[in-house]
Amino acid sequence: MKDKKVRLLIIVVAFFAFFSISFSQLQTQPLPVVVTCRKSLFGGSYVLQIENTSASQLKIWLEARERIAAFLIPAGRMIDVGWVQGFRFDANDVFFIGADGYDTLRQAMPSTELSAIRIGFSNDGSLTLNLSQSFLQNQLSKYFKLPIIQNYPRILELEINEMPQIILRDGSDRIYANVVLQSLTFSGKVRIPINVTVSFVPYYIASTGIIAASKINVDNININGLPQQWFSQVTAIINQLIPIWFSNVQLFQLDRTTLKYCKFLNVRQISIQNGRLVIELL
């Protein structure tokens, strides 16, 4: 009996010793770095600055814009990470920094946008025009003079009194916009909000340098509180009306100097990349 108790005690001690060692190995400590940023030399993007505050060399990894890379920072030294290293940081870009045995650091770039319009080159050397979401939003306001009111006798009145909100989705070839309509049926006195999601394909006119909207779709209509007898009619009206309103929108036009060099180029592709509208020219 005494031998069994001794063996049981040894097993219990070994059990706790094993899990104590395992737990200590899982514990991490704060990453010994100071992270700052600066404007790039040409002012079109941010450069990440990472300083190693420890007394030994530190191997870190950086994840941003769906890209991961490793960097070796000498003790007490700082490195710059920007477009030269393959990372072009824009405003509000989120990034992660980590190292073996250390906590992962999550931070974001400042919200101040450095370059609404950027001219660059793709990986294969094509000339690119890069337009930010905020720039496109400002352009939209030039063509939507609020309020916009449309009356349909004996049916309803539709009104837009808030600027549609542009949304850029990475990997898509379409630009999306959220539109809030206020509807008033002639049988009632209450305005009912209607949320509409619109999408369109931007196309580039080389001779004028204009980017306009084409293939305009009403992707979703969310109506709450509208009497059922009006639902089908209102939906049909919105599907006809929204494309008309967006057909006159011009998202961008090159200035004369830039157009002089670009008007003989053809559009290779228009897509959304890294939160920007990217136009590749050949």
Q: How do the pLDDT tens digits run along the chain, 282 residues long?
A: 556 555 655 565 555 555 444 444 446 799 999 999 998 876 678 999 999 999 999 999 999 977 899 999 999 999 999 988 888 888 888 999 999 999 999 999 988 878 888 877 777 878 888 888 888 888 888 878 889 888 877 777 888 999 999 999 988 999 999 999 888 876 666 778 889 999 999 988 877 888 889 999 999 888 877 666 677 878 888 888 889 888 888 888 877 777 776 667 778 888 998 788 998 887
Domains 33-108 and 117-281 share a fold: no
The beta-strand segments (E) located in 54-147 are 58-64, 67-73, 78-81, 94-98, 105-108, 117-121, 127-132
Residues 6+ apart with CB under 8 A from 147: 159, 160, 161
CATH class of the structural domain 33-108 = mainly beta
Q: Does the global pTM surpass 0.85?
A: no
CA distance 5 to 98: 47
- Domains of the chain, by residue range, sit at 33-108, 117-281
Tokens of 81: 């990470």
Q: Which CATH architecture has domain 117-281?
A: Super Roll (3.15)
